[in-house]
A and B are shown apart, each in its own frame.
Chain A
């Protein structure tokens, strides 16, 4: 077994997240799929840090985690305010900008 397997695992996880974004309707679940994609990228960064023997990849993954935390806070606040006005968390229902 080589560290390549970690990269394959992370590619599969990223694909699962992307398919989830395409398929699911609930805005919160779509958001969770985005989190899964970010996690998959983090696994790639950690693996490459190990392959290259340098900690820079881990620092990068750390920054990704910080950005993801900030993104979750703002995104969930947006979802909450949409839910408050439209009484729905489905991405199909927020269609005011459609036409």
Chain B
């Protein structure tokens, strides 16, 4: 399995966050994608939607189960990844790259985001 990328932050709910200025790119981890199995459907919030940390903002379905995407930050959605909606297999094939979900202009980052090492310890990988 792909190891958690060192330059990203993580949540215990298995999202990753890449921070660039006031914009955060958000996706789900390779561990989460692997646990779900083949992703067949992705539902994301619309551009312009305001999201609040800890709230459900999307759904990721595999043949076997349904995962919810939680907003890891407060802010406004500035971009949703249409490519991953059109081709959900990107979540499995490239979770930290082409399989990203949304970009959010955030007003604040929550405390307690995990480092790659912390996240790896959490998942036992």
A binds B: no
- B residues near A (Cβ < 8 Å) are none
- A residues near B (Cβ < 8 Å) are none
